[in-house]
Amino acid sequence: MAGFNVNDDPTTNSGAKTGAVSTADIARAQEQIFAPGRSSRDKYQDLVVGRPGFAALAKYELVVMLCQGLAGAAGLAMRQMMYPWLLGSCGRGVVFGQNVVLRHPHKIHIGSNVVIDDNCLVDAKGDTNLGIRIGNGVFIGRNTILSCKNGDIQVADGANLGFNCEVFSASRVTIGRNVLIAAYSYIIGGDHDFSDPAKAVISQPRVSAGVTIGDGAWIGAGAKILDGVAIGDHAVVGAAALVRENVPAGTIAVGIPARVVGSRSGRA
């Protein structure tokens, strides 16, 4: 059983998992936006900037206004110069495409020779999380989303995330070295408890066991990796697969739900 909400929370409705960490302390976006007694500026700053104070807000707005949507080579040059002002750390030779959106950017750390293509969202939102760490030589394709709700995302050196992918974390999602994730794939490191039939699912606690994808794995186009799953080193997940259980290292898994059908060594 799987589905996606429309409230900026792409977790799957597969129920609470053994060993999952409760994330019930994370407020829904609606609760934060419409919280009484707080100014619109404070709410915006909590959701987007992630730091209090007028100076932090002013710096964020200056960078966004001057270069986020600027087209052409001038925009690339301006973002390469100014986006690191907001980030926790940033290496050399990082390319930020047009309309790349950063949220809670002080918790985003990027290595060297990274490409983040047009219209990506890199959202490290949370009160107690470490945020997002992207290694050296990583490519993040156009329209891809890295989204935290008090979770952490780590993308190791050489990983390649295709166009229109989504990686969500309410605890921890780790993508290993030289992992290839094809377009329209979803890595979903969070879930909802729906054990109480008298309550709407959206009103029940959130849980997260996280997702791990080992070094050198290949995730085919349109695959969905659900919360609590570990993909072993150099494993292959077929296109459009729905992965609910662990995939051992070096194996090939396909189907809905995914099952292991072979080994890359030729032994089933």
Enzyme catalytic residues:
192
Q: What is the rounded CA–CA span in Å between residue 1 and residue 15?
A: 9
Dump strand ranges (E) for 183-243: 186-189, 191-192, 206-208, 211-213, 218-219, 224-225, 230-231, 236-237, 242-243
State how beta strands 186-189 and 152-155 pair: unpaired
Cβ–Cβ under 8 Å, residues 212 and 174 = yes
Cβ–Cβ under 8 Å, residues 22 and 205 = yes
Beta bridge partners of 218: 180, 236
Alpha-carbon distance values, 98 to 15, 120, 180, 192 (Å) = 38, 9, 23, 34
Structure tokens given for 186:
């979803």
Burial class (CB in 10 A: 0-12, 13-18, 19+), 94: buried
- Please name the residue that has the structure tokens 């290496």: 91
Which among 219, 220, 211 has a CA at the least distance from the CA of 246?
211
Q: What is the rounded CA–CA span in Å between residue 231 and residue 267?
A: 18
Cβ–Cβ under 8 Å, residues 215 and 176 = yes
